[in-house]
Amino acid sequence: MTAARQQLDRLWQRGRDFLGTDIAILGGAMSWISERNLVAAISNAGGFGVIASGSMSPDLLAAEIAATQELTTKPFGVNIITMHPQLDGLIDVCGALSVSHIVLAGGLPSTAAIKRAKDTGARVICFAPAVVIARKLVRSGADALVIEGTEAGGHIGPVATSVLAQEILPAMSPELPVFVAGGIGRGEAILGFLEQGAAGVQLGTRFVCATECIAHPNFKRSFIRAAARDAVPSVQVDPQFPVIPVRALANQATRRFVAFQHEVIARFRAGEIDQKEAQLEIEHFWAGALRRAVIDGDVENGSVMAGQSVGLVTEEQPTQRILGELIDQAVSALSARNAWTAVVA
């Protein structure tokens, strides 16, 4: 093992110890994508796969966990949406099947939910978009945090990854492991966040074109062809009808969503529907759209969720190779710096 690789391992040792892995890289939980095959592939390659439970029932999640355990003996986690109506049941399933890490996402989890998850024996990871929320999560018992910037795919916040890292890492990383996510596609970026105090990173978009990923070939081709600027947030046309921003590749569906909002709001203004009905129609526009793109391959009328790092995805590769490239890039950057330091010393 080279000196630079040993340096890298020291930098993310805390994350490796927390996850129980060789590499402190989590797979971002992506609905319809982060299922047994990709999750097991990431874990088997030394990273940390995470099942996206999404809208699964407890029985479906139990089957997915069991199927993943058939494919890997390595640690992996389960991402659970905190607003799920069967949240307690999903947590209990994770406990019954000895899941080592539970990721509570999609909203601020309650202290009770965090405690229930910890009582299963699992380590609990939560998302923190600001220092004040990070501190609250720590008080509630979170074991680790993920900070995710607006460059990420899917549902996003308003602050860039680089700014969140500067805000949260100095304040929180001395207390507990913090993983950085959003817009990360190369090893040099991973190295930079580790040197700022991160315990590791989380990547989603980079794994969509893994050969083990079940996404439709059309979905993968869209990623390979896309540039960073093609991954755009969904547009809200009227603040009276709020839309949670979702970053995806611009297509016919994203353009249709803008027109659809105008149509629904016009019907509301004309008194044909009330505000609640109008809001529900807008919110339901994307129902089934992600599955339509990921599974059915309709990348024009479906939702092609992608982070801005999509421009760094240039080919379909085995998961092992993806992780290997990321490590090689980080190690090369460290080696170059070590050589320069030796020259100027």
What pTM, to 2 d.p., does this model score?
0.95
Q: Quick one: average pLDDT of 271-290?
A: 93
The 3-state secondary structure of the chain reads CCHHHHHHHHHCHHHHHHHCCCCCEEECCCCCCCCHHHHHHHHHCCCEEEEECCCCCHHHHHHHHHHHHHHCCCCEEEEEECCCCCHHHHHHHHHHCCCCEEEEECCCCCHHHHHHHHHCCCEEEEECCCHHHHHHHHHHCCCEEEEECCCCCEECCCCCHHHHHHHHHHHHCCCCCEEEECCCCCHHHHHHHHHCCCCEEEECHHHCCECCCCCCHHHHHHHHHCCHHHEEECCCCCCCCCCCCEEEECCHHHHHHHHHHHHHHHHHHCCCCCHHHHHHHHHHHHCCHHHHHHCCCCCCCCCCECCHHHHHCCCCECHHHHHHHHHHHHHHHHHHHHHHHHHHC
Q: How far apart are CA 186 and CA 201, in angstroms?
A: 11
Q: Quick one: average pLDDT of 202-213?
A: 98
Give the angle subtended at the CA of 279 by the CAs of 308 and 147, to the nearest 5°. Answer: 35
Q: How far apart are CA 19 and CA 42, in angstroms?
A: 13
Q: Quick one: average pLDDT of 184-195?
A: 98
Percentage above 90 pLDDT, the chain = 95
Specify whether the CB–CB gap between 294 and 154 falls below 8 A: no
**Number of neighbours of residue 132 by Cβ within 10 angstroms:** 10
Domain 3-203+315-344 classification at class level? alpha beta
Q: How far apart are CA 306 and CA 229, in angstroms?
A: 11
CA distances from 57 to 60, 69, 123, 175, 219 (A): 5, 18, 22, 34, 26
Instruction: Read off the tokens for 129.
Output: 């978009």
Q: What was the pLDDT predicted at 345?
A: 64
Per domain, the residue ranges of the chain are 3-203+315-344, 217-309
Q: How far apart are CA 79 and CA 30, in angstroms?
A: 9
Specify whether the CB–CB gap between 143 and 172 falls below 8 A: no
Q: What was the pLDDT predicted at 340?
A: 80
Would you place residue 222 in the very low, low, confident or very high pLDDT band (cuts 50, 70, 90)? very high
Q: What was the pLDDT predicted at 177?
A: 98
Is a pLDDT exceeding 70 seen at residue 343? yes
Q: How far apart are CA 21 and CA 77, in angstroms?
A: 12
Q: Quick one: average pLDDT of 210-235?
A: 98
Positive/negative CA dihedral, 208, 167, 128, 43: positive
Instruction: Read off the tokens for 309.
Output: 């790092």
CB-based burial of residue 20 (10 Å sphere; 0-12 exposed, 13-18 middle, 19+ buried)?
middle
Instruction: Read off the tokens for 77.
Output: 């986690």
- Residue found by looking up tokens 């088997």 in the block: 44
The residue among 26, 29, 20 whose CA lies nearest residue 98 is 20
Q: Quick one: average pLDDT of 116-138?
A: 97
Is a pLDDT exceeding 90 seen at residue 341? no
Is a pLDDT exceeding 90 seen at residue 339? no
